[in-house]
Amino acid sequence: MTVPPAGSPLQLTDEVGDALRDGAPIVALESTILAHGLPRPRNLEVGAAVELQLRRAGVVPATIAVLDGHARIGLTSSELERVAMSPEVAKASVRDLPVVLAAGRDAATTVASTAFLADHAGIRVFATGGLGGVHRDAMESFDESADLQTLGRTPIAVVSAGVKSILDVPATLERLETLGVTVVGYRTDRFPGFYVTDSGEPVDHRVERPSEVAAILAAVDALGIRSAVAVANPLPLDEQLDPELHQRVLDDALTAASDAGLRGKEVTPFLLDHIQRATSGESLEANVRAVSSNVTLAGEIARAWSERLTAR
């Protein structure tokens, strides 16, 4: 275990600490998808697989979680299993971190808290499945993911398959613009819709190579910008969930949630569960494919960023 600076709430594995010291490629990974996003034991299989995927590419994985009240940057295999298999692991966004740290609890980190802690540790690249965003009933509920505000003040490159399609995608893109988050499409002019390749919305900027994202990060630093670069990485057409099936089950799920009178935090897990059951698990497999694809691209960006650091 790498000893952090005095007073730091972070605990880094030696592997992560060495990578940060040497400027080696490193990718942050969230833990909420393991603790709350995928069924057991598939969650542990996916968590171990994406870490192995990065290591085989010469990149250090840094899965982030809170264990015994300590913000852990990088997990051992037994700790990864603990996060994935224990029903006692809470879900912590940025606002929850002080509470779980003070109480000495275990918690999985969301996109927001993972980005926050990764930036705190000095990690510049983060891979996830899909971002949170503005909810469809936000005009009434004011329900908006903390991911957006955090990305608006965290200079990290986050690779995702867009925002979850159960959300209000146009409103989410407007909020990202307002918050100063740079959105680029990776080899696409269309913003992806998580399970589907195209959400129906465009992106203003497009990149073709991981080195271009690294160059954008360097420009972020040169300008003193304190917001994220969101890299939208769509699933290939032949790997997406069938768009007609997706729209049909999404409409059914939204109707069911409304009929049940669900609001706020209850809505997202209900919709995702409904879609998974209605697609006989096809949405789950699309989710896993998106995570794997995003991890691959994030690893390539991390290598490009490392090359820039070592060339200085």
Q: Is 164 designated active site?
A: yes
Q: Is 307 designated active site?
A: no
What dihedral angle (degrees, nearest 10) is formed by the CA atoms of 170, 299, 95, 263? 40
Q: Tell me the whole-structure pTM to 2 decimals.
A: 0.94
Same domain, 99 and 232: no
pLDDT given for residue 90 in this prediction: 95
Minimum mean pLDDT range among 8-22, 37-51, 256-270? 256-270
pLDDT higher than 90, residue 138: no
> Tens digit of pLDDT for each residue in 70-85?
999 999 999 999 999 9
Q: What average pLDDT does the segment 18-30 reach?
A: 97
Residues 294 and 29: their CA atoms lie apart, in Å, by 11
Domain that holds residue 257: 126-312
Chain mean pLDDT for the chain? 92
pLDDT given for residue 3 in this prediction: 45
pLDDT given for residue 171 in this prediction: 92
pLDDT higher than 70, residue 99: yes
Same domain, 162 and 281: yes
Same domain, 158 and 83: no
Same domain, 104 and 140: no
pLDDT higher than 90, residue 269: no
Domain end (from 83, 106, 123): 123
Residue 281 vs residue 24, higher pLDDT: 24
Domain count, the chain: 2
Same domain, 183 and 245: yes
Same domain, 57 and 193: no
Domain end (from 77, 103, 123): 123
Number of alpha carbons in the 13 Å side-chain half-sphere of residue 191: 25
Residues 129 and 232: their CA atoms lie apart, in Å, by 10
Same domain, 187 and 236: yes
271 φ/ψ sector (left φ>0, alpha ψ -120 to 50, else beta)? alpha
pLDDT given for residue 235 in this prediction: 96
CA dist 63 → 54, 157, 210, 251 (Å): 11, 16, 21, 34
pLDDT higher than 80, residue 267: no
* Candidates 15, 30, 174, 300; catalytic one: 30
Same domain, 105 and 150: no
pLDDT given for residue 264 in this prediction: 64
Domain end (from 79, 99, 123): 123
pLDDT higher than 80, residue 140: no
Same domain, 244 and 280: yes
> Tens digit of pLDDT for each residue in 188-226?
999 999 999 999 999 999 999 999 999 999 999 999 999
* Candidates 79, 91, 140, 164; catalytic one: 164
Model confidence band, residue 229 (pLDDT cutoffs 50, 70, 90): very high
pLDDT given for residue 185 in this prediction: 98
pLDDT higher than 50, residue 18: yes
Same domain, 66 and 99: yes
Q: What average pLDDT does the segment 23-32 reach?
A: 97
Same domain, 98 and 166: no
Residue 28 vs residue 1, higher pLDDT: 28
Same domain, 174 and 47: no
Percent over 90 (pLDDT), the chain: 78
> In this structure, what DSSP letter does residue 236 have?
P
> Tens digit of pLDDT for each residue in 149-189?
999 999 999 999 999 878 889 999 999 999 999 999 999 99
Looking at residue 275, which CATH number applies to its domain? 3.40.1790.10
Q: Are 155 and 123 in contact (CB under 8 A)?
A: no
